[in-house]
């Protein structure tokens, strides 16, 4: 009981800090009227992100594109919102792991997976951001206006992978240790996912979660691992946008970030309350819909 109270005190304190910052803003009533609805977007995006291992950009990118934000603003603002949502989700999943599964054999791959993935994911992300002048990245960075098309193609491929993995969810026997092939593949997947994430604000968590599920690891453990990795990556990504692009739309982040923190806390309950098969089908179809909406088909 004392531990529960302590956890809630921390979150209540952060909520009070947010309210203080909000009411220190000029014309706060107009600010709430214009941007307050973004809190709901943050909740939806963070619940999706932290309940599936997919980044919140799956929701934010097409929405901001339809609002008319430019490509750099879309990515920067999406990263900033995810700093709230993915961090809340990572803390929640980490607490759940320590309380309930620290000695569970099916959850033992979590720590080693993160150790293998974090250097590659952060390295790939930073290379794509700060190495824009390199020949391998210069052409892609010149075509960032086509971000929504790249996002659409990536999301469709991801949705197919998610839906293809659904039959694997019926298994009751899961792997409890990484094999040699996993030790080789995880850093490569993380590095590739980090590069994709730098451009689209999504990628590394999705790739990791789908790989672990296909490799017959526990699905909840796979989601938790992907969420924690994504949280680390979005914070690493923000340094570039803070120092170089200055493209974050902070008015949106103020409200969407608040909603994302709430969604990040709620997502674990979504995963634990619903059938994993139905949850994965729903979100797979949602990613497919978002991917199609990013293509210039109409």
Amino acid 179: pLDDT: 94
Q: Among 228, 213, 109, 230, which Cα is nearest to 161's?
A: 213
Distance CA 2, CA 162 (A): 39
Task: Determine, yes or no, domain membership for 24.
Answer: no
Distance CA 155, CA 285 (A): 10
Distance CA 113, CA 187 (A): 9
Task: Determine, yes or no, domain membership for 7.
Answer: no
Task: Determine, yes or no, domain membership for 117.
Answer: yes
Task: Determine, yes or no, domain membership for 1.
Answer: no
Q: Is residue 218 within 8 Å of 70, Cβ to Cβ?
A: no
The mean predicted confidence, pLDDT, of the chain is 83
Residues of the chain with pLDDT under 70: 1-11, 132-133, 135-148, 168-172, 276, 279, 293-294, 296-298
Q: What are 94's two structure tokens? A: 């980490």
Task: Determine, yes or no, domain membership for 165.
Answer: yes
Task: Determine, yes or no, domain membership for 25.
Answer: no
Q: Among 70, 77, 195, 192, which Cα is nearest to 129's?
A: 195
Q: Give the three-class secondary structure for 275.
A: coil
Q: What are 75's two structure tokens? A: 């990515």
Question: Count of CB atoms within 10 A of residue 28's CB?
Answer: 11
Question: How many domains in the chain?
Answer: 1
Task: Say how far residue 123 (Cα) sits from the centre of its chain.
Answer: 17
Inter-CA distances, 252 with 58, 67, 79, 276, Å: 17, 12, 12, 32
Question: Count of CB atoms within 10 A of residue 30's CB?
Answer: 10
Amino acid 144: pLDDT: 55
Task: Determine, yes or no, domain membership for 28.
Answer: no
Distance CA 83, CA 7 (A): 19
Amino acid 194: pLDDT: 93
Amino acid 137: pLDDT: 62
CA Rg value for the chain: 19
Domain that holds residue 101: 38-293
pTM as predicted: 0.86
Distance CA 258, CA 42 (A): 7
Alpha-helix residue ranges (DSSP H) falling in 24-56: 28-35, 38-52
Task: Determine, yes or no, domain membership for 174.
Answer: yes
In the chain, the N- to C-terminal Cα span, in Å, equals 55
Residues 6+ apart with CB under 8 A from 164: none
């Amino acid at each position: 009981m004392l531990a529960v109270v302590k956890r809630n005190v921390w979150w209540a304190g952060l909520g009070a800090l947010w309210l203080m910052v909000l009411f220190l803003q000029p014309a706060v009533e107009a600010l709430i009227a214009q941007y307050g609805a973004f809190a709901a977007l943050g909740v939806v995006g963070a619940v999706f992100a932290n309940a599936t291992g997919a980044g919140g950009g799956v929701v934010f990118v097409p929405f901001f594109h339809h609002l008319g934000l430019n490509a750099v603003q879309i990515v920067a603002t999406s990263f900033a919102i995810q700093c709230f949502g993915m961090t809340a989700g990572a803390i929640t999943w980490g607490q759940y792991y320590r309380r309930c599964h620290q000695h569970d054999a099916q959850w033992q791959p979590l720590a080693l997976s993160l150790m293998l993935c974090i250097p590659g994911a952060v390295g790939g992300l930073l290379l794509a951001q700060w190495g824009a002048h390199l020949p391998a990245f210069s052409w892609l960075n010149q075509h960032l206006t086509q971000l929504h098309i790249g996002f659409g193609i990536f999301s469709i491929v991801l949705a197919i992978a998610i839906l293809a993995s659904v039959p694997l969810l019926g298994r009751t026997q899961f792997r409890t240790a990484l094999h040699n092939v996993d030790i080789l593949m995880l850093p490569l997947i993380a590095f590739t996912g980090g590069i994709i994430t730098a451009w689209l604000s999504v990628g590394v968590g999705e790739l990791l979660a789908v790989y672990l599920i296909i490799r017959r690891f526990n699905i909840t453990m796979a989601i938790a691992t992907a969420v924690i990795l994504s949280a680390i990556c979005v914070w690493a990504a923000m340094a570039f946008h803070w120092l170089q692009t200055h493209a974050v739309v902070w008015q949106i982040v103020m409200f969407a970030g608040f909603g994302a923190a709430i969604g990040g806390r709620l997502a674990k309950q979504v995963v634990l309350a619903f059938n994993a098969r139905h949850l994965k089908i729903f979100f797979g179809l949602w990613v497919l819909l978002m991917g199609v909406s990013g293509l210039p088909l109409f």
